[in-house]
Structure 1
Amino acid sequence: MALVDLPGSKSLTARALFLAAAADGVTTLVRPLRSDDTEGFAEGLARLGYRVGRTPDTWQVDGRPDGPPAGAADVYCRDGATTARFLPALAATGHGTYRFDASPQMRRRPLLPLTRALRDLGVDLRHEDREGHHPLTVRANGVEGGKVTLDAGQSSQYLTALLLLGPLTRTGLHIEVTDLVSAPYVGITLAMMRAFGVEVEREGDVFRVPPGGYRATTYPIEPDASTASYFFAAAAVTPGAEVTVPGLSEGALQGDLGFVEVLRRMGAEVTVAADRTTVRGTGTLRGLTVAMRDVSDTMPTLAAVAPFADGPVRIEDVANTRVKECDRLEACAENLRRLGIDVATGPDWIEIRPGRPSGAEIRSHGDHRIVMSFAVTGLRTPGISFDDPGCVRKTFPGFHEAFAALRASFVARADPPGGAASGPADEEPGR
């Protein structure tokens, strides 16, 4: 059995940094994710005037309920969508002028539904170039609150940004949502707000957020479930292999742990216990049709292992994956075709037919999830390499080392003393 110790959740770390900055007092985050995205978020808080102290296993943030301590700031959000979407909402609660910009990749990603909602709440927010995209400037004077309507059909992060903002307004927020994707991520937000002392009332598509601010606390960050999907998938495609991730359990906040249920439907053995989750490969992978709207970050993981199934794998309701770090649906299709696999796509679906992949260079499009997903394909496909293996630094800088260790454990299990290895192909992850 391979016991895999994974870094903390990106989604939880980003939300916890916002909540800690907004809380009254000093908050300690235990085992936060340290990656390009989360370091960028912490750097953005520092630019806004918040103190963020770091030790190897904890971050401490001095909160300020009245908004950013700095009266002016220029914040670079890097590639981080949570940084680029959450921090302008936080800045709006202060008093000053705050400019936000981001990488070319992040500049392409939309945020107009969020900025429209902020403007409807009276926030003076202006886009410098293309409407609905970075760069933008917030001239902040606090936020009164009130009623607002939001379309979160492209990203649940728009709703999360408003929910997190709500307790910092003078009168609270009444948010009516007309469409919502990745709903489990909103569940994460509500649970974390509760841990920081705020209870949101929800009735269907309406969220009522009370004013009053947040309470500082000590908050442990659970392992990243999206990252865990690559290791669970590795076990599923390797007969007899077993992967256990401690800390991802029955009570996990992250909806992406639901990916193991997809693997169970395909034939893997799955155990979700009180303190860990285990997946074991049985030598069987069945084709299936599955809607992944709520766990769309794991769509590339499933696409990358789909060729090894005994029938077609059709993934539906994933239109929002077209506006991630890249058009992930087309990136998966392109790379599977490069490997010789028959693929069809539509506006919100991809269908992958069984086949025997052959080695090729994977075009990452700068997207960490494309690289990490097709690393799983590489377990059974010699000759796979990547044009930009280093883009995994966005969420898991040590991914290639951790995955190489997993591969080695599989090979050792399959190679009896004095025998020849019969485990997965041992290919380097780089060029």
Structure 2
Amino acid sequence: MTAVEIPGSKSITARALFLAAAADGVTTLHRPLASDDTEGFAQGLEALGYGVEQAADRWRITGRPAGPAVANAEVYCRDGATTARFLPALAAAGHGTYRFDASAQMRRRPVAPLTRALRELGVDLRHEEAEGHHPLTVVAAGVRGGALTLDAGESSQYLTALLLLGPLTRDGLRITVTRLVSAPYVGITLAMMREFGVEVTRELTSDGEVFEVPPGGYRATGYAVEPDASTASYFFAAAAVAGREVTVPGLGRDALQGDLRFVEVLRRMGVRADVGSDRTTVTGDGTLSGTTVTMRDISDTMPTLAAIAPFASGPVRIEDVHNTRVKECDRLEACAANLRAMGVTVATGDDWIEIHPGTPRPVEIATHGDHRIVMSFAVTSLRTPGITFDDPGCVRKTFPGFHEAFARLRADWAL
């Protein structure tokens, strides 16, 4: 059995940083993810005047329930979507003028549903160039709160940013959500808010799902960050296609992250997966069955499945993944184009991709600067030697040590 230590969850680390900054007191985060995205988030907090102390396996954040400690700040969000979407909401709860900008990649990604909602709450927010995109400036004077309607069919991060903001408002928030994608990520948010002292209620109504967020702020705590389930998917997929066994400690049946459900997809394809109390083990025999699967709620693992789909005995059809077109790149099209370059037959639609069995030939993968494209097609390379990447280093976004970890896996398996 090969055990792989997966770094902390990016999604959980970003939420924990927001919650710690907003809480009354000092919070210690244990085993947070150290990557380009999370380092960018932490530096954004520092630019806003929050105290952040980083050690190897724990970060200490001094919270400020009243908002940023400075009246003016420039925040560069790098490529981080959570940074670019969560920090403007946090800054809105304070008093001052805060400008946010991001990389060219992040500038292309939309934030319009969130910024419309913040304006609806009375926040003075101005886009400097393209409406609904970075750069933007928040002239903050606190947020009163109240009721609003949100379309989160493009990204659940819009809803998460507002949920996290809710306890910092004077009156709380009542959010009616008409559409929602990646719902398990909202479950992560609500569970973590509970750990920091806030209970959100939710109910289904004829108008949509309604979230009631009370005012009153957060309390500081100690918080352990679980391993990243999206990252674990590459190692689970590797075991499936290589006919080996891999165990990821720290991810078990009580894990917060919905992306652990990727192992259920592997089960449907004939792979053995055992989810224990504190670890998950996947055992493959090198064979995979074709399948049709809806991945709306675990869409970050769509490229993982796409990259191993050619090795299945029948077509693999992945449905309801339109939101993957507005990630770091158009992931649906990036997967399709790379697979076609390998000689694999692929069909696509607006929100689906169907991949037929084939024998991929080695090519240079066009990564589009997307960490998930690199890590997914690294799995393909286990059975297609000679695959290279035009930007292998972009994995630093979430897993700087990925290539070294994957090389160790190959060595352990003598591949």
TM-score (norm 2): 0.99
**Residue of structure 2 in register with 1:24 after alignment:** 24
Q: Distance in 1 between matches of 2:170 and 2:333?
A: 44
- Alignment correspondent of 1:65: 65
Aligned 8 A contact 1:79 1:103 in 2:
yes
Q: Which of the residues 398, 402, 415 maps onto 2:401?
A: 398
Q: Distance in 2 between matches of 1:324 and 1:380?
A: 27
Amino acid at match of 2:359: R
On the 8 A contact 1:93/1:169 being kept in 2, the answer is: yes
CA distance in 2, matches of 1:71, 1:236: 53
**TM superposition shift of 1:282:** 2.2
Partner of 1:281: 284
* 2:369 counterpart SS class: coil
SS of alignment partner, residue 215 of structure 2: coil
Q: Aligned letter for 2:188?
A: I
CA distance in 2, matches of 1:68, 1:208: 25
Counterpart AA for 1:225: A
Please name the residue that 2:155 is paired with.
Answer: 155
Counterpart Cα distance in 2 of 1:61 and 1:55? 11
Name which of 309, 328, 339 aligns with 1:325: 328
Residue of 293, 298, 323 corresponding to 1:295: 298
Alignment of 1:31-430 (within 5 A): 31-204=31-204, 205-239=209-243, 241-411=244-414, 424=415
Letter in 2 for 1:283: G
Asked if 2 retains the 8 angstrom alpha-carbon contact of 1:25 and 1:215, the reply is: yes
CA shift, 1:298, in A, is 0.1
Cα offsets for 1:390-429 (capped at 9, x unmatched):
0000000000000000011111xxxxxxxxxxxx4xxxxx
State the aligned residue count: 411
1:7-36 CA distances to partner (integer Å, 9 max, x unpaired)?
000000000000000000000000000000
Q: Normalization by structure 1: what TM-score?
A: 0.95
* Partner AA of 2:371 in structure 1: H
Superposed CA offset, 1:234-279 (max 9, x none): 000012x100000000100000000000001101110000010000
| Displacement after TM superposition at 1:55 (Å) | 1.0
**In structure 2, distance between residues paired with 1:121 and 1:400:** 44
For residues 412 and 150 of structure 2, what CA distance do their matches in structure 1 show? 48
Q: Secondary structure at the match of 1:237?
A: helix
Runs of 4+ in 1 over 3 A off after TM superposition: none
**1:79-119 deviation digits (Å, cap 9, x = unpaired):** 00000000000000000000000000000000100000000
CA distance in 2, matches of 1:203, 1:262: 29
SS in 2 for 1:5: coil
State the alpha-carbon separation in 2 of the partners of residues 329 and 200 from structure 1. 34
- Aligned partners of 2:27 and 2:62 also within 8 Å: yes
User: Which amino acid in the other structure matches residue 325 of structure 1?
Assistant: E
Distance 2:347 2:286 in 1: 26
The equivalent of 1:415 in structure 2 is none
Q: Secondary structure at the match of 2:132?
A: coil
Q: Which SS does the other structure have where 2:242 is aligned?
A: coil
Determine the C-alpha separation between the residues in 2 that align with 1:313 and 1:282: 18
* 1:377, distance to aligned residue in structure 2 (A): 0.1
Is the CA contact 2:287–2:311 (under 8 Å) kept in the aligned structure 1?
no
Provide the rounded CA distance (Å) in 2 between the counterparts of 1:152 and 1:229. Answer: 25
1:15 aligns with 2:15: yes
More deviation, 208-217/279-288: 279-288
- In structure 2, the gaps of 5 or more residues are none
Q: Which amino acid aligns with 1:178?
A: T
User: Which amino acid is 1:350 matched to?
Assistant: I
1:50 partner letter: Y
CA distance in 1, matches of 2:54, 2:47: 16
Letter in 1 for 2:353: I
- Per-residue CA deviations over 1:203-257 (Å, capped at 9, x if unaligned) read 0200000000000000000000000000000000012x10000000010000000
Task: Indicate if the aligned counterparts of 1:267 and 1:282 stay in contact, CA closer than 8 A.
Answer: no
How far apart are residue 284 of structure 1 and its match?
Answer: 2.2
Letter in 1 for 2:321: V
Q: Which runs of 5+ in 1 are unaligned?
A: 412-423, 425-431
SS of the residue corresponding to residue 191 of structure 1 reads: helix
* Identity score, percent: 78
* Alpha-carbon distance between aligned partners in 2 of 1:114 and 1:56, rounded to the nearest angstrom: 34
Cα RMSD over matched residues? 0.4
| Partner amino acid, structure 1, of 2:183 | A
Q: What CA distance in whole angstroms lies between the structure 2 residues aligned with 1:134 and 1:287?
A: 41
Aligned residue identity for 1:31:
R
Query: Matched residue of 1:75: which SS?
Result: strand
